[in-house]
Amino acid sequence: MTTATLKSRFGAFTRHGVAVSYALLVVLIVVAVILNPAFASWANVKAQLQIATFIGIIAIGQTLVILTGQIDLSVPWNLTFSSILMATLYGEGYGFAVAVGAALLVGIGVGLVNAIGVAVFRLHSLVWTLGMNALLEGATMVYTNGQPPDSTIPGFVRFLAVGNLGGLPVAPLVWAVLAAVTILVLARSRFGRFLYATGNNEPALFLSGVATRRVHVGAFVASGVCAVLAGILLTGYASQTYLGMGNDYLLVPIAAVIIGGTNIMGGAGGYVGTIAGTLIVVLLQSILSIAQIGQAGKNITFGLIIIALVLLYAREARPTD
Amino acid sequence: MSLRRYRSSLLAVVGLIVLLGYYWYQQPLILSPFGFRLLANQGTTLALAALAQLTVVLTGGVDLSVGAIVSLSNTIAATYMGDSPASVVGVVLLTLAAGSAAGLVNGLLVAYGRIQPIIVTLATLYIYSGFALLIRPQPGGSVPGYYASTLTGAWGYLPYSLIVLLVVALCLRMPIMRSRLGTAIYAVGDNPGGAHMSGINVPRTLVSAYVIGGFLAACAGLFLTAQTTSGDATVGTSYTLNSVAAVVFGGAILGGGRGVALGPIVAAFFISIIVSVLFAAGVSSFYQSVFQGAILIVVLMFGNAWTLRARNRLAVLRS
Amino acid sequence: MRPGTDKAPLEEGRPLLDARGISKSFGGVHALEAADFSCRAGEIHALLGANGAGKSTLVKVLSGVQRPDAGTITLAGETVQFSGPAEAAHHGVATVFQELSLFPHLTVAENIYVGHEPTGPLGQIDQRRMRSDVRALFDSLGVGHIAPGAHVSDLSLADRQLVEIFKALSKEPKLLILDEGTSALGRKEVQRLFDLLRKLKAAGTSVIFISHRMSEIREFVDRMTIFRNGRHVATVAAREASDAEIVEMMLGQRVERSFPERTEVSRDEPPLLELSGFSVGSDLADVSLSLRRGEVLGLAGLEGQGQGTLLLALFGAYRGVAGEALIDGRPVRLSSPKAAMESGIALIPEDRKTEGLVLPMSVRENITFSVLSRLGRFGFVSAARERAFVGRMMERLSVKAASMELPARSLSGGNQQKLVLAKWLETGADVFLFYDPTRGIDVGTKQAFYELIVGLTREGKGVILYSTETSELIGLCHRVAVMDGGRVALTLEGGNITEEEILAASLGVGRGRNAAGADMAEAAQ
């Protein structure tokens, strides 16, 4: 892609966003290493990447959905329900393929229903996916009778989540592969092109003879599947499933997308920035932990960082300009 | 105000009547003074939070920090209130001021920082909940018994909570929504560029709306404190998304410019009461979330059905 | 002052507004360069210029929406600097902008009074007084059909434009600026509007009027100022300069407005497109049409008589469409724009900015939305093939853009419209639907569009052209269907396509109606 392409695709808005977020990332790394030189140890880097993987994979789906101008709030219970379903089915002796396949089907189904609400019924995704989240929470409660399930985790899931491959941790490798595919799809594919166009001006794309509903379906199904994948990895990582395992994964990935410079109204941004956003979010958490700042301080700092970054690069134009 | 604007509330009103009818059939006791009080108290916090959300939604924004402001108000009230009437009044005023200040920060960032409302309030959601945690790292604290009973008690069939809600809603309506500021709030949400060109001070209107929103969220927090009589920094979490749901169910349009207070208030009661109704109907508590989600989803689809009837698909795409 | 300005000392009248040396640039592009403009008290003054001449920027500066980089504005002898539209309004300048500034979900009365509503002792708005005042105003102006309590979203585009104008007038301005304020109005309404403007003028109000409809301007204005490339070129009395001279001043060169020769249409071939009983609710009633290869079929009539609905319905953008459409004799299902595209139909929609283009995306991306699947494999786009395709299209339509990577937003109106057309040239479309394609584009590009439309017919395509400019229909079309109330009132052919015939049929009077009656009688036999 030429510089000119980048300019037109992302506009000043996001070129700055990506640069600023990577600059901040470097600053954070330096700060972390100064605070605690052990931070740069391979073991710690692996641990940080491990945590970043869950957020980063969810943020793939969230980036695609946000690019179309929507948002997916059904991630937490989609993740929880599908993970519990996988673990339970496997525990009942259904085998790895069936268990994981069923979980993925849940993700696809959730994405489809989300997309139908948004693209067919034209409902605001903020409320529609929220309703889906409540529905999935209920489904989980009914399925588990409100008891934390007895989990049996497939060996391969354990391997994906915490295994090593040639000295490298597998989970971040999975993330890297998915990230590469995402970046390629956004930059080069027809679907990627239509995502940006839908977020900018859906009527114009519709009048260009493009089935814009399918674009929404693609984005939401991708988000549903990403949530399931993250859930599977999280299950392997924690060696168990539990109610509420998805609760921390609603707002943090969205924050990562925003920090990475993607426009919350859609149409501009991309996954390159989201990667930086994800790492920033994770690093910040651990720096604040190293500095022994409690949850209250973490929350406040996190909020201030979002505002500061967005003030730097994602302000809207004045109405008169 | 034209009557037509109230049409959007119809769905919520009908929904609540049907729900209450069914509840009464299941549980005739709700027609007692005690039942009335219970019902009224159940919905008032969310109704106030929904009014807070509505004020912001009307301008075309959304306030994700409503829940955090509710928590913050709750922790302030339950931690500092003391026992003397003077300190109660003082802390109530302090809490309202804190809520308004939180709204002011939101508004300034939206209007003068020119950041998307959803991003601003996502960030301040973290900040305000951080402050709530600072004030009250562990759940606890208390409020005097007379504070609780004054807000949650009843006089015969008339629950005090409804009076509180009515007073707040009327204060919102008469001096604010029917003044030039009110029209400006609708106008800014309906067509921000047009509002600027029409000579409306858009930033000031936005800031006002967020301050009112913060104030109302603090009212919700104060009422919630009277119900729970203690402080908890996470108690308000569910009010953010439920207030959005109530506002939308109540007929307001995310995107701004359309909606009246009646619908969200009624919808807030619907959403709050449905859990009890399901319980009374003998539905296992495990199914309650399913029903809540399903009802929200069905209601949303119904609410939007009129848009889909439009023959012009472009109009549908733009709505 | 440059030579050639102020050709003659005109009638007396002190200047109400005097703007001197106004400059304004956007990111290095000069929209206005030391431009002068002056307007007397109690005159109707037209501001003319091709696209990009700086008219709209001048309007925005005069109305306080934008601050000039340099220059002074004197209003009634007082030097003013507006901090915003509110302050301009305070000084008696009210503006009707190109983009409507109405609030669709407020009532007509609330719209008209927004920001300066009559209030009671408690600061509450006096709704009753507001409505009765508006009622009285509307009745006196002969627009009593607009209800003060109606929501603006329920009004027709023309009525909305009227409300917009009344909104500006409600501030009782000394200076009223109408920036393309009449583009959606039918002739009757324009006439009524100018009656009103004359009354205002008599009362001492000045009006600055901007429009692309030359004929409107000539009839009603006192003086005209011509802008070119952000500068003042000349100010002349309305009757002093000929159309050709004005166009020459606008363009900087003499351009003959001429239409290319129509393509010969073979009568023997079966029609390319045949519609029978096409209906959409109450918007479109039982329309039957046919279109041959090489033919331009015009749609005429007053604004909003179903022309737009017909085009959009043909393109699959409406649901609940009854009737049958045949292309090359085969029935087609036009259930979505995608289906219509696959049946060989292309649409150049009404508003290029919101319907035709994705403005922040590049020229390249905008041109390829409809053909992307053919420019690559496995869902991916081949950059090389895409660039080649875009290069070819830009050359064919002579799109002026420094790079195909520039955002579509940065192009001029005419070039933007070319992008909308370019998108369809290789989709295999045979039927091209044009929805008022030259609205708001400059004279030079209009000419290019005429060539393009006729060029399509030479390739054997069929064109349906809806235009609000009657001269285009007369100059380009083989047949013109005049629409009224969602029906085809009359179809004119060949030498019968004249301004008078079209107008008569549009208004449902005179010869037009008789002829239509005769047609129907024939059809009945």
Number of domains in chain B: 1
Contact of B138 with chain C, judged by CB distance below 8 Å, is answered with: no
Check residue B274 and give its pLDDT.
85
| A117-152 pLDDT tens trace | 999 888 888 888 988 888 898 889 888 888 877 777
Residues A210, C338: C-beta atoms closer than 8 Å: yes
Chains A, B: CB pairs < 8 Å: 162
Check residue C5 and give its pLDDT.
39
* For range B216-239, the mean pLDDT: 93
Return the percentage of chain C with pLDDT > 90, whole number.
19
Residues C381, A203: C-beta atoms closer than 8 Å: no
- Low-confidence winner among A261-265, A300-304, C108-112, C519-523 (lowest mean pLDDT): C519-523
Contact of C84 with chain B, judged by CB distance below 8 Å, is answered with: yes
Torsion, Cα of A152, A156, A162, A168 (10° steps): 180
Beta bridge partner(s), residue C273: C291, C327
C168 pLDDT band, cuts 50/70/90, is: confident
| CATH number of this structure's domain C1-82+213-253, picked from the four choices 3.40.50.300, 3.30.70.141, 3.30.1490.20, 3.10.129.10 | 3.40.50.300
Answer yes or no: is B183 within a domain: yes
Residues C407, A8: C-beta atoms closer than 8 Å: yes
Answer yes or no: is B149 within a domain: yes
Whole-number Cα distances in Å, B32 to A4, B312, C369 = 72, 51, 65
Residues A207, C358: C-beta atoms closer than 8 Å: no
Residue of A nearest to C339 (CA): A209
Residues B134, A296: C-beta atoms closer than 8 Å: yes
Answer yes or no: is A115 within a domain: yes
Residue numbers in B near C107 (CB within 8 A): 2
Residues A190, C423: C-beta atoms closer than 8 Å: no
Check residue C52 and give its pLDDT.
64
Q: Which residue has the higher pLDDT, B95 or B276?
A: B95
Check residue B245 and give its pLDDT.
86
Contact of A205 with chain C, judged by CB distance below 8 Å, is answered with: yes
Check residue C216 and give its pLDDT.
64
Residues C502/C524, Cβ–Cβ less than 8 Å = no
DSSP code string of A40-74 = GSHHHHHHHHHHHHHHHHHHHHHHHHHHTT-----
* For range C28-40, the mean pLDDT: 82
* For range B207-230, the mean pLDDT: 95
Return the percentage of chain A with pLDDT > 90, whole number.
48
Contact of A146 with chain B, judged by CB distance below 8 Å, is answered with: yes
C212 pLDDT band, cuts 50/70/90, is: low
Give residues 31 to 50 of B whose Cβ lies within 8 Å of C: none
Residues C406, A8: C-beta atoms closer than 8 Å: yes
Torsion, Cα of B181, B187, B192, B196 (10° steps): -60
Residues C356, A9: C-beta atoms closer than 8 Å: no
Contact of C312 with chain B, judged by CB distance below 8 Å, is answered with: yes
How far off is chain C from A205, nearest CA to CA, in Å?
7
A1 pLDDT band, cuts 50/70/90, is: very low
Q: Report chain C's mean pLDDT, rounded to a whole number.
A: 82
How far off is chain C from A93, nearest CA to CA, in Å?
38
Block residue for tokens 């309305």: C238
pLDDT of B198 over the 80 cut: yes
Test mutation, B198, B204, B306, B317, chain C, max C CBs within 10 A: B198
How far off is chain C from A193, nearest CA to CA, in Å?
8
- Tokens (6 digits) for A266: 């859609």
| C52-75 pLDDT tens trace | 678 888 888 888 888 888 888 888
Chain C residues bordering chain A (beta-carbon distance below 8 Å): 60, 65-67, 315, 317, 336-338, 340-342, 347, 349, 354-362, 364-365, 369-370, 372-373, 376, 379-381, 383, 403, 405-407, 423, 427
Whole-number Cα distances in Å, C422 to C272, C344, C346, C441 = 22, 15, 11, 17
Contact of B190 with chain C, judged by CB distance below 8 Å, is answered with: yes
Residue of A nearest to C402 (CA): A4
pLDDT of C252 over the 80 cut: no
How far off is chain C from A120, nearest CA to CA, in Å?
13
Check residue B287 and give its pLDDT.
78
Answer yes or no: is B103 within a domain: yes
Answer yes or no: is A239 within a domain: yes
Residues B312, C103: C-beta atoms closer than 8 Å: no
Test mutation, A205, A207, A316, chain C, max C CBs within 10 A: A207
Q: Which of C97, C106, C117 sits opposite B190 (nearest CB)?
A: C106
Cα–Cα distance, B205 to A301 (Å, whole number): 29
**Range of B212's domain?**
3-282
| C432-461 pLDDT tens trace | 999 988 877 777 788 888 999 999 999 999
* For range C123-129, the mean pLDDT: 84
Check residue B109 and give its pLDDT.
95
Residues A121, B304: C-beta atoms closer than 8 Å: yes
Contact of C209 with chain B, judged by CB distance below 8 Å, is answered with: no
Answer yes or no: is A5 within a domain: no
* For range C77-89, the mean pLDDT: 84
Check residue B276 and give its pLDDT.
83
Answer yes or no: is A269 within a domain: yes
Q: Which of A203, A265, A299 sits opposite B317 (nearest CB)?
A: A203
Three-class HEC string of B205-256: HHHHHHHHHHHHHHHHHHHHHHHHCCECCCCCHHHHHHHHHHHHHCCCCCCC
A186 pLDDT band, cuts 50/70/90, is: very high
How far off is chain A from C355, nearest CA to CA, in Å?
4
pLDDT of A97 over the 70 cut: yes
Return the percentage of chain C with pLDDT > 70, whole number.
88
Cα–Cα distance, C408 to B172 (Å, whole number): 45
pLDDT of A216 over the 90 cut: yes
| B19-34 pLDDT tens trace | 899 988 888 888 888 8
Residues B2, C107: C-beta atoms closer than 8 Å: yes
B292 pLDDT band, cuts 50/70/90, is: confident
Check residue C495 and give its pLDDT.
83
Number of domains in chain A: 1
| C380-426 pLDDT tens trace | 999 999 999 999 999 998 888 888 988 888 887 888 899 999 999 98
Specify the CATH number for the domain of residue A38. 1.10.3470
Q: Report chain B's mean pLDDT, rounded to a whole number.
A: 88
Contact of A193 with chain C, judged by CB distance below 8 Å, is answered with: yes
pLDDT of A6 over the 60 cut: no
Best CA proximity match to C183, nearest among C156, C211, C155, C159: C211
Residue numbers in A near C416 (CB within 8 A): none
Cα–Cα distance, B259 to B251 (Å, whole number): 6
Contact of A212 with chain B, judged by CB distance below 8 Å, is answered with: yes
Phi/psi at C469 (5° precision)? -100, 110
| C343-375 pLDDT tens trace | 999 999 988 888 999 999 999 999 999 999 889
Residues A138, B109: C-beta atoms closer than 8 Å: no
Torsion, Cα of C508, C514, C516, C518 (10° steps): 160
Answer yes or no: is B40 within a domain: yes
Scanning C319-464, the segments in alpha helix (DSSP H) are 337-342, 363-368, 383-396, 413-422, 443-458
Answer yes or no: is B301 within a domain: no
Residues C360, A267: C-beta atoms closer than 8 Å: yes
Check residue C257 and give its pLDDT.
59
Q: Specify the DSSP element, H or E, that contains B18.
A: helix B10-26
Best CA proximity match to B257, nearest among B6, B8, B60, B28: B60
Return the percentage of chain B with pLDDT > 70, whole number.
96
Q: Which of B178, B186, B191 sits opposite C101 (nearest CB)?
A: B191
| C471-508 pLDDT tens trace | 888 889 999 999 888 888 889 988 888 877 887 777 66
Q: Which of B199, B312, B314 sits opposite C85 (nearest CB)?
A: B199
Residue numbers in A near B317 (CB within 8 A): 122, 202-203, 206, 212
Check residue C243 and give its pLDDT.
73
Residue of C nearest to B317 (CA): C317
Check residue A263 and give its pLDDT.
86
How far off is chain C from A264, nearest CA to CA, in Å?
15
Answer yes or no: is B308 within a domain: no
Q: Which of B116, B254, B285 sits opposite A264 (nearest CB)?
A: B116
Residues A117, B297: C-beta atoms closer than 8 Å: yes
Give residues 338 to 367 of C whose Cβ lies within 8 Å of B: 355
Burial label for B138, CB within 10 Å (0-12, 13-18, 19+), is exposed
Check residue C432 and give its pLDDT.
95
Scanning C114-156, the segments in alpha helix (DSSP H) are 127-141
Specify the CATH number for the domain of residue B249. 1.10.3470
Phi/psi at B312 (5° precision)? -80, 110
Check residue A138 and give its pLDDT.
87
Check residue B309 and give its pLDDT.
65
| B127-178 pLDDT tens trace | 999 999 999 999 999 899 999 998 888 888 888 999 999 999 988 877 777 8
Answer yes or no: is A4 within a domain: no
Q: Which of the other chains make 3 or more beta carbon contacts under 8 angstroms with chain B?
A: A, C
Residue of B nearest to C153 (CA): B190
Answer yes or no: is A2 within a domain: no
| C216-249 pLDDT tens trace | 667 778 888 888 888 888 888 888 777 777 777 7
Residue numbers in A near C376 (CB within 8 A): 190
The most distant pair of C-alpha atoms in chain C lies apart, rounded to whole Å, by: 78
Q: Which residue has the higher pLDDT, A226 or C59?
A: A226
Residues C381, A193: C-beta atoms closer than 8 Å: yes
C525 pLDDT band, cuts 50/70/90, is: very low
Alpha carbon of residue A62 to chain centroid: 5
| C319-344 pLDDT tens trace | 888 889 999 989 999 989 999 999 99
Test mutation, C60, C66, C91, C124, chain B, max B CBs within 10 A: C124
Residues C176/C7, Cβ–Cβ less than 8 Å = no
Check residue C484 and give its pLDDT.
84
A177 pLDDT band, cuts 50/70/90, is: very high
In single-letter form, the type of residue at position C245 comes to: E
Residues C24/C69, Cβ–Cβ less than 8 Å = yes
Residue numbers in C near A197 (CB within 8 A): 358, 361, 365, 369
pLDDT of C515 over the 60 cut: no
Q: Which of the other chains make 3 or more beta carbon contacts under 8 angstroms with chain A?
A: B, C
C253 pLDDT band, cuts 50/70/90, is: low
Residues B232/B76, Cβ–Cβ less than 8 Å = no
